[in-house]
Amino acid sequence: MIAKLVWPKYLQYVPAMVTRTSEGKVLVQWWPNPFGSATRMTWLKDTDVRAELRYER
């Protein structure tokens, strides 16, 4: 999947993957550098994770 990270001064799109879910939250593994091997893990609210990139008009 693609993760959109919202930072105070910019947006960043990075490759990511859901690794675990828990009640009300999702653990997302993401790569700050798509060509590097270092990964990061972040817990997000389940309402911040969408199954599709499509938005209703």
pTM (predicted TM-score): 0.72
Domain that holds residue 30: 2-48
Residue 36 domain-assigned?
yes
Domains identified in the chain, total number: 1
Residue 55 domain-assigned?
no
Q: What is the pLDDT of residue 57?
A: 66
CA distance 47 to 38: 26
Residue 56 domain-assigned?
no
Residue 54 domain-assigned?
no
Residue 53 domain-assigned?
no
Give the tens place of pLDDT for each residue, 5-47. 888 999 988 889 999 999 999 999 999 887 878 899 999 998 8
18-23's contacts with Cβ under 8 Å and 24+ in sequence apart are: 18/49, 21/46
Residue 28 domain-assigned?
yes
Residue 57 domain-assigned?
no
